[in-house]
Amino acid sequence: MSEAIPIPVEVDPVSGQWSVDGLPMILVPRHLITNNLHAVEERIGYDASTTLFRAPGYHSAQQWCAHQAARHGLKGAAVVRHYLEHMSRRGWGRFTIEELDLDRGRARVRLDDSALAARAVGPQRSACYMFAGWLEGAVDHVRPRGATGVRSREIRCRAAGAEHCLFTVDET
């Protein structure tokens, strides 16, 4: 039994470009993303790979949150919740906010059924590091002006044998 995609996808009849909420999208098989991540890890190493993907993830989350906040009139924690709900709907896994304190720059986010942990190639270690930058970008986007930045880290990963992935976000 299949379900309809839980997000509205618009397809431009001339260009074929897909969009969701006015943002261009590309539908790709999960293995394309995970194979590319694995190739980068093999080429530059695991530690360098975790560093490489943090900044672009951060900036992408900032762009998405700014667009969605303006489009839907969202503010504060509602932006972060909306972001993680949509990432869940897009097949990255099921994100659940366990704690969110924007004034203190703190969050705790559980991730079940991670698309990245499912790849689990190589040593049993954290596979979901790409999400750290996303969480930092989303939380920083709605922090009070003048607040310092935040840093996210995955403290448990399904790929390393945990029941689910778990991220913390803390003020730097």
For 89-142, how does the pLDDT look when each residue is reduced to its tens digit (9 = 90+)?
999 999 999 999 999 999 999 999 999 998 765 556 789 999 999 999 999 999
The pLDDT of 151-164, averaged and rounded, is 93
pLDDT of residue 123: 56
Residue type present at position 146: G
How far is C-alpha 64 from the chain's CA centre?
11
How far is C-alpha 137 from the chain's CA centre?
9
**Residue where the block lists tokens 């922090």:** 143
Return the structure tokens found at 171: 């003020």
167 Cβ partners below 8 Å, 6+ apart?
Answer: 107, 108, 109, 111, 128, 131, 132, 135, 152, 153, 154, 155
Alpha-carbon distance of 59 to 38, in angstroms, equals: 22
Dihedral sign for Cα 160, 161, 164, 170, please.
Answer: negative
In whole angstroms, how far apart are CA 142 and each of 7, 19, 126, 129, 139?
A: 24, 24, 27, 22, 6
pLDDT of residue 11: 95
pLDDT beyond 90 at 154: yes
In whole angstroms, how far apart are CA 17 and each of 13, 14, 20, 161?
A: 8, 8, 10, 39
Is the pTM for the entire model greater than 0.85?
yes
Alpha-carbon distance of 107 to 160, in angstroms, equals: 22
User: Strand runs (DSSP E) across the chain, as ranges?
Assistant: 10-11, 18-20, 23-25, 94-101, 106-112, 150-156, 165-171
Q: Do residues 115 and 93 lie in contact, with contact meaning Cβ atoms separated by under 8 Å? A: yes
For residue 1, name the pLDDT band (cuts at 50, 70, 90).
low
